[in-house]
Amino acid sequence: MDASKASRRREFVQQASQQQGDDFTSLPYQNKLIPRAKELRKGATKQENHLWYDFLRSYPVRFQRQKTIDHFIADFYCHAAKLIIELDGSQHYNEQGLARDKERTAILSEYDVEVLRFSNTEVENDFRRVCTVIDSAVNKRMRAFAEELPQSPTATALSKREP
């Protein structure tokens, strides 16, 4: 990403943060992407459907499919953990695809979002491990966010009491 593009991106993120507070209720997105996200939901790959119907749809923490964030569409997004799951087909493994994914991940990380990437082959051949990695990432991020929350005065007072 060139310097002027990176500067515009930082400015966009800062403006969004100021408008919505540091903990976004919703991450910024482009309305024009919503019809495409709906198309992608309807035309999901076999691997996306497998991960969705056999794990994420009934996961205790809510995930969304084909979520628009900034000027991207994430395969799966968990707002509570600020976690994106991307399933990558072969087009992601050439030089251009790898560069695009690296730039996309860098932009999304400015929103404090973590991106986990799995190949379609991993979903097909090692589904249990993929689910375990996702579960661990959600739990780790949610614990970290919970530790950052300020405690109420009552909770702080109770924790200082002698047993």
Q: Is the pTM of this model over 0.85?
A: no
pLDDT at 21: 44
Per residue of the chain (163 residues), what is the pLDDT tens digit? 555 555 555 554 444 444 444 444 578 777 888 888 888 889 899 999 999 999 999 999 999 999 988 888 999 999 999 999 999 875 645 677 778 878 888 888 888 899 999 999 999 999 999 999 999 999 999 999 888 877 655 555 544 544 4
Q: Tell me what pLDDT residue 146 has.
A: 85
Q: According to the model, what pLDDT value does residue 152 have? A: 57
CB under 8 Å, gap of 24 or more: what pairs does 134-140 form? Answer: 134/55, 134/56, 134/83, 134/85, 135/59, 137/81, 137/83, 138/59, 138/61, 138/78, 138/80, 138/81, 138/83
Give pLDDT, residue 60: 95
pLDDT of residue 151: 65
